């Protein structure tokens, strides 16, 4: 027996969730960029893309090896090599503390502008916060809520009821509708998508 695949119906996009996640990830990318800048101060030559990628993945341990290698003392301790060259690696070591773990969790990319959150990660964040109906009951409830909101908003715009009556209507119909964010006089009825998304088949 053939089964028809349910049409993918968008319920809502959690824009606030996307914004908060991206703000955190971009902050981590800035910290990673700062770590690479600190690393560059300890090296005579410009870091290559490959070297930067290695440092993002392995952090201070990779930088230690790189410093010893470029200054011609591959078997020496990094502190000795830095001292010989009048350098202090404490800032770079501190800057790399969380970079490898965050790079593994988030996925940074290196561009001409520095370290950025990768497009693939941005796409994952958007998908994670985009919610679709997963059963027919949710689809029907969403359509009904849209029609209900249209009727209620029209009634409010035409002074069929006032602000107090609107509040009572929201309370009575809270399974399907809610008020949009904003100032009280500017709010409108919108589908209660988060509650609709919780409806079981």
132, 186, 92, 169: which is closest to 5 by C-alpha? 132
**What are phi and psi for residue 64, nearest 5 degrees?**
-55, -50
Considering the chain, what percentage of its residues have pLDDT values greater than 90? 64
pLDDT tens by residue, 116-171? 999 999 999 999 999 888 899 998 999 999 999 999 999 888 988 887 888 888 88
Q: Which sequence spans correspond to the domains of the chain?
A: 10-128, 133-196
* Residue 169 · residue 161 · CB < 8 Å: yes
Mean pLDDT of 56-61: 96
pLDDT tens by residue, 98-117? 999 999 999 999 998 899 99
Q: Could you give the CA distance from residue 201 to residue 194 in angstroms, rounded to a whole number?
A: 16
Residue 1 has pLDDT above 80, yes or no: no
pTM for this model (two decimals): 0.74
E strands within the chain?
Answer: 10-13, 108-111, 114-117, 130-132, 177-179, 189-191
Take residue 143 and report the two structure tokens written for it.
């359509």
């Amino acid at each position: 027996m053939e089964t028809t695949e349910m049409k993918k119906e968008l319920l809502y996009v959690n824009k606030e969730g996307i914004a908060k996640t991206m703000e955190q990830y971009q902050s981590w990318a800035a910290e990673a960029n700062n770590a690479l800048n600190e690393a560059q101060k300890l090296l005579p030559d410009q870091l290559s893309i490959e070297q930067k990628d290695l440092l993002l993945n392995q952090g201070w341990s990779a930088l230690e090896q790189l410093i010893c290698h470029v200054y011609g003392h591959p078997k020496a301790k990094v502190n000795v090599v830095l001292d010989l060259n009048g350098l202090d690696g404490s800032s770079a070591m501190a800057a790399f503390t969380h970079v490898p773990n965050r790079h593994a969790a988030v996925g940074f990319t290196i561009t001409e502008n520095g370290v950025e959150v990768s497009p693939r990660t941005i796409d994952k964040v958007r998908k994670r916060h985009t919610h679709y109906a997963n059963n027919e009951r949710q689809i029907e409830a969403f359509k009904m809520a849209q029609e209900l909101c249209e009727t209620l908003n029209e009634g409010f715009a035409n002074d069929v009821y006032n602000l107090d009556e609107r509040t009572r209507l929201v309370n009575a119909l809270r399974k399907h509708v809610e008020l949009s964010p904003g100032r009280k006089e500017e709010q409108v009825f919108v589908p209660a998508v988060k509650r609709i998304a919780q409806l079981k088949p």
